[in-house]
Amino acid sequence: MGHPVMRHLEPLETRCLFADLFAATAAEFQARLNSASLGDNIILTSSNPYVGTFTLPNKTTGSGWITISGPNVNLLPGEGVRVSPSDAANMPHLRSPGGNAAVLKTAASAHHYKFVGIDFSGPAPTASVPNPSITALIELGTDTTAQNTVASVPHHLIVDRSYMHPYSPDLHIRRAIALNSGDTDITNSYIEEIHQPGSDSQAIGGWNGTGNYNIINNHLEGASENIMFGGATGRIPNVVPKHIVIRGNHVIKPLRWKGLVDPASGLQYNIKNLFELKVGSDVLVEGNIFENNWVNGQSGVPIVLKLGNLEQSPWNVTEDVVFQNNIVKNAIGAVTLQGRDYAAKNPDGSDKDPGGLVRRLTFKNNVFEQVDGVLLYMTHGPKQVTFDHNTSFATKQIVEVDTVQWEATDFKFTNNLVAHNNYGVRSTDGTGNVTFNKYFDDSGHVFAKNVIVGVPWVYRNNYTARPDNFLHVLASGVPASPPTQWDPVKFVNLAGGDYHLAADSPYKNAGSDGKDIGADIDTLNVALNGAIGGLWQQALQTIVVNNGETQRSRVNTVTLTFNQPITSTAGALTLTRRTSTGVTVIATPSADKKTYTLTFTGAGIESGSLADGVYDFLADVSEFKDAFGYMPVGTRIDQDRTLTFHRLFGDSDGDKDVDGVDSSEFRLAYRTTTSSPNYRWYFNFDGDNDIDGIDNNAFNARYRTRLVY
């Protein structure tokens, strides 16, 4: 790929002024929502709860976003930092009125609303309703037949640095956010205590939206499925939620829920999964920690990808899912893949699902720890499943497969570190060869370069059908899963949770791609940056002018430094001179693609330097791509990186003027060449390697001038 040439923006036009609208009561808040134009700010000033159901109207006047926040928003954690319940004191409080009413709803086609730093809560108990519960706290879009076209879907919605919860932990909300909108970001927020005995409950659940979702850097608690897409009827023909990014979240079920009986209903919370897809396309799940799942409403498997509701929505698919750089821990089992909606029937009772609609699923560079169950269970033939470079400490089967009539074609299991335990790769027909030969006999199947520890003696010859693996067979009579089974791998510190391979591990650089077998722990740690604490290190770490020099007499370069290899697109980086046009930016990456040096060409260049003027630099973070082709972890969807700087020939100390200090410096350098110790390259106006009369004239023309910005 060649170096991208970045476009130059025209000078920014003067922006019209938008209004700050203040609301002290619930009625005033709805009135401000009704009257606001796009671009306005609504500021909720009261310390008392705003009780009601607030509807976001569709706006046709103004431009930009309507932002809803409180007067103390500047006291909240900054952009890109997750809030916690302790931040609620600095948030305005929106509360459901009860009666199964949401606190926030959208009108058809409503768009461009941004909530920053809001405390959303369920209804308060009353004498007549001591245990109120609601179906959804926030409804973005609807699942009714009123939303059966793309044009009717609300879109461009943001919930950032907000707190969602019931009135008290023992009260119930079935769903914190019903995500049936389009182009929606849920970022840097804290959702807790989402449960409803007798019903499935989710922190975030959607099924009738269009997609482009960014669920980034949140704490998410939900009893049944913390995050789920699908499970109900999609109303928009030939549309499924797509382009979904789930990154940097702590997805957790509190252990105090285990066995907890709700006193009002006498029921336990309905525990199922941490993440489930029943529909979705182009889904990236990266840099998350999925923690705590147990047997209750289902078998305790935390990650489930399948297909549902095909009978009602025959266009449904679950496809193109990438699950990478995550930790899955403290669960019963790890991953279940179901290749068909076997419940869907035709009118004559025959199967409606022909198979092949759950496809292209990739699991790469994950760690599965404290998993008391099967690593990977496949049923009803999911297609094109890739499981590569994972490290698993699951205590039961590596792969369990069934329903031979629905073949899991193109299954690739490579470069993984796994324990065999009792049965390894298994079906009802047996372990190893018999399962490979019956279930995985297609030309697209690969099972190679895996380290399999703790293979019981009785199965020592059961993997000859897949010889290109590293098996560690236990001695005869040694029971499966002994504590010493991992010793041959040589981790840096297995007991301490450091799963790097030691320098003398036989499996360093032994993968099919020349990399260490198992997960790349360094890459994993970068991806997990902030998933627990919610404080993300920026992917774009520094923007430096002239290699950090103070002087602005010449500006030849700007340097960007990232925390990981980056590819930038042609529209990612722009430079605007406020008084004229004529600058083209060329970005040249270092060999490791972690540093980009920007140089300049065009009519606005003087001997390699930017011309005098004030410059606005913009890095459009949505155009950065990591090694996998996705927006890099640590990048915020809603916040570009900017820098304003100047060039003024003669300004040797960078203070926006050419004064006596600069004159003294210039006189020392006058009439020198590059071989002189007093030569200063930034006083060489014409770039001819000496400081002469031409440079003197340029300096004098600017003496006692100043840039104001």
Note the pLDDT tens digit of each residue in 248-291.
999 999 999 999 999 999 999 999 999 999 999 999 999 999 99
Cβ count within 10 A of residue 224: 27
Domain ranges of the chain: 5-390+519-524, 540-647
Per-residue pLDDT at 575: 86
Cβ count within 10 A of residue 562: 24
CA atoms of 542 and 545, how far apart (whole Å): 10
Tokens 């109303």 label which residue?
235
Per-residue pLDDT at 569: 73
Q: Of the CATH numbers 2.160.20, 1.10.3470, 3.30.420, 3.30.530, which one belongs to the domain with range 5-390+519-524? A: 2.160.20
Fold equal for 5-390+519-524 and 540-647: no
Percent helix, percent strand, percent coil in the chain, to nearest 5: 10, 35, 55
Phi, psi (degrees; rounded to nearest 5) at 440: -130, 60
435: closest CA among 378, 359, 356? Answer: 378
Read off the amino acid at residue 162: S
Cβ count within 10 A of residue 493: 10
Q: Does domain 540-647 have CATH number 2.60.40.1220?
A: yes
CA atoms of 579 and 12, how far apart (whole Å): 10
Mean pLDDT (whole number) for 120-132: 96
Is residue 175 predicted with pLDDT exceeding 90?
yes
pLDDT in tens, 398-448: 999 999 999 999 999 999 999 999 999 999 999 999 999 999 999 999 999
Mean pLDDT (whole number) for 629-649: 70
Mean pLDDT (whole number) for 73-91: 93
CB 450 within 8 A of CB 436: no
C-alpha pair distances (Å), 188 with each of 164, 249, 629, 642 = 12, 9, 23, 21
195: closest CA among 176, 225, 172? Answer: 172
83: closest CA among 204, 246, 217? Answer: 217
CB 185 within 8 A of CB 160: yes
pLDDT band, very low/low/confident/very high, at 628 (cuts 50, 70, 90): low
* Beta-strand pair 613-619/609-610: unpaired
573: closest CA among 537, 616, 544? Answer: 616
pTM: 0.82
Residue 106 vs residue 605, higher pLDDT? 106
CA end-to-end span of the chain, whole Å?
38
Is residue 47 predicted with pLDDT exceeding 70?
yes
CA atoms of 280 and 215, how far apart (whole Å): 14
Mean pLDDT (whole number) for 6-22: 50
632: closest CA among 560, 559, 544? Answer: 560
How far out from the chain centre does Cα 535 lie? 14
Torsion-angle region of 701 (φ positive above 0: left; ψ -120 to 50: alpha; else: beta): alpha
Per-residue pLDDT at 9: 24
Per-residue pLDDT at 607: 86
pLDDT band, very low/low/confident/very high, at 54 (cuts 50, 70, 90): very high
How far out from the chain centre does Cα 118 lie? 21
pLDDT in tens, 229-240: 999 999 999 999
How high does pLDDT run on average in the chain?
92
CB 147 within 8 A of CB 180: yes
Find the length of the chain: 709
Name the β-bridge partners of 321.
283, 361
Q: Which residues, other chains included, contact 408 with Cβ-Cβ below 8 Å and sequence gap of 6+?
A: 339, 378, 381, 382, 383, 385, 401, 439, 440
- The sign of the CA dihedral 692, 698, 704, 705 is negative
pLDDT in tens, 176-215: 999 999 999 999 999 999 999 999 999 999 999 999 999 9
**pLDDT above 90 coverage of the chain, percent:** 83
Coil vs helix vs strand at 327: strand
Mean pLDDT (whole number) for 163-178: 98
Per-residue pLDDT at 612: 92
Coil vs helix vs strand at 179: strand
Mean pLDDT (whole number) for 542-571: 87
* Beta-strand pair 540-545/498-501: unpaired
Mean pLDDT (whole number) for 631-639: 52
- Of 343-357, 491-505, 571-585, where does mean pLDDT reach its minimum? 571-585
Read off the amino acid at residue 481: S
CA atoms of 154 and 142, how far apart (whole Å): 9
Phi, psi (degrees; rounded to nearest 5) at 75: -90, -5
Per-residue pLDDT at 6: 26
pLDDT band, very low/low/confident/very high, at 627 (cuts 50, 70, 90): low
Mean pLDDT (whole number) for 339-359: 93
Coil vs helix vs strand at 434: helix
Within 13 Å and on the Cβ side, how many CA atoms surround 50? 27
